[in-house]
């Protein structure tokens, strides 16, 4: 099974790129974040025509939004609201052998101080709530996949410069500590780092501000695929599809792929 996560930064604007990704990679499941469209305007038919017949979406106008697209039927689907907000950041789908949770964790604004920045406070609270929720609802023996744009680069080599970004939102100690606690809640296995050593650079996001993103290579690894311990041994490969950053009208994020033998 091939599963992909991608912050698409507007599914309607980039539906051509989504269809190209489906054609080239043939994923079984494709999860999107930041779809930026209410459900009634989601481009369902082109995706169904491309083979993704089973679609679970939760979106809003202009902001956020998540989608699970699948070639295979799911047994059930859920929409979850976090931190007392209905801002389209968490959906789930249950398949026969596993459950998928698609997350779009808040970006957190610019100021890494929860006392003065409500967006940063929301981000920390969101991760804390997810940590408690996973631990209360599941056990490490359950077969789960959590993926999406987590908006946190937890490791030193998940950013282009740990020294320069350690106090920048997405790589601060407060965020990293909370994401580590969330990962520890069920003993989640980081699919990308399962194959790429922690001392090797790995990025999934490059700012639009970089005129030549390849040359500057000032990236961050914000997009993740995690699996619970029973699925860890079934991981076969991973790939960060960096070339997608060069496609027409690209998202600032690139797709992340994991293959499992399920």
Q: Give the per-residue pLDDT at 211.
A: 85
In whole angstroms, give the CA distance from residue 215 to residue 218. Answer: 9
- Cβ neighbors of 259 (< 8 A, separation 6 or more) are 1, 2, 3, 235, 236, 237, 238
In whole angstroms, give the CA distance from residue 90 to residue 82. Answer: 8
Q: Which CATH superfamily is domain 2-260 in?
A: Endonuclease/exonuclease/phosphatase (3.60.10.10)
Chain segment 185-230, per-residue pLDDT in tens = 999 999 999 999 999 999 999 999 988 999 999 999 999 999 999 9
In whole angstroms, give the CA distance from residue 110 to residue 78. Answer: 31
Q: Give the per-residue pLDDT at 245.
A: 98
**What number is the average pLDDT over the span 83-106?**
98
3-class SS letters over the chain? CEEEEEECCCCCCCHHHHHHHHHHHCCCEEEEECCCCCHHHCCHHHHHHCCCCEEEEECCCCCCCEEEEECCCCCEEEEEEECCEEEEEEEEEECCCCEEEEEECCCCCCCCCCCCCHHHHHHHHHHHHHHHHHHHHCCCCCCEEEEEECCCCCCHHHECCHHHHCCCCCCCHHHHHHHHHHHHHCCCEEHHHHHCCCCCCCCCEECCCCCCHHHHCCEECCEEEEECHHHHHHEEEEEECHHHHHCCCCCCECCEEEEECC
Chain segment 102-158, per-residue pLDDT in tens = 999 999 999 999 999 999 999 999 999 999 999 999 999 999 999 999 999 999 999
Please state the pTM of the whole predicted model: 0.98
Q: Give the per-residue pLDDT at 106.
A: 98
Of 177, 186, 181, 179, the residue nearest 232 (C-alpha) = 186
Q: Give the per-residue pLDDT at 67.
A: 99
Find out whether 69 and 47 touch, Cβ atoms under 8 Å: yes
Residue 165 has pLDDT above 90, yes or no: yes
């Amino acid at each position: 099974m091939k599963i992909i996560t991608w912050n698409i930064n507007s599914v309607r604007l980039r539906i051509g790129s989504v269809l190209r990704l489906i054609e080239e990679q043939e994923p079984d499941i494709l999860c999107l974040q930041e779809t930026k469209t209410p459900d009634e305007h989601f481009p369902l038919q082109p995706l169904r025509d491309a083979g993704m017949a089973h679609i679970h979406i939760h979106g809003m106008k202009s902001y956020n939004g998540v989608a699970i697209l699948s070639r295979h039927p799911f047994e059930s689907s859920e929409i979850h609201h976090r931190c007392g907000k209905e801002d389209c950041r968490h959906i789930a789908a249950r398949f026969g052998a596993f459950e998928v949770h698609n997350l779009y964790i808040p970006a957190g604004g610019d100021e890494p101080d929860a006392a003065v920045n409500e967006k940063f406070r929301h981000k920390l609270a969101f991760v804390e709530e997810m940590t408690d929720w996973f631990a209360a609802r599941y056990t490490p023996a359950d077969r789960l996949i959590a993926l999406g744009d987590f908006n946190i680069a937890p490791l030193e080599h998940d950013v282009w410069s740990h020294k320069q970004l350690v106090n920048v939102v997405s790589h601060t100690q407060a965020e990293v500590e909370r994401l580590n606690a969330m990962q520890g809640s069920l003993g989640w296995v980081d699919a990308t780092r399962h194959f790429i050593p922690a001392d090797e650079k790995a990025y999934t996001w490059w700012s639009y501000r970089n005129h030549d993103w390849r040359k500057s290579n000032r990236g961050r690894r914000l997009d993740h695929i995690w699996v619970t311990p029973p699925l860890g041994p079934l991981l076969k490969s991973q790939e960060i599809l960096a070339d997608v950053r060069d496609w027409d009208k690209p998202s600032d994020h690139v797709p992340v792929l994991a293959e499992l033998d399920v």
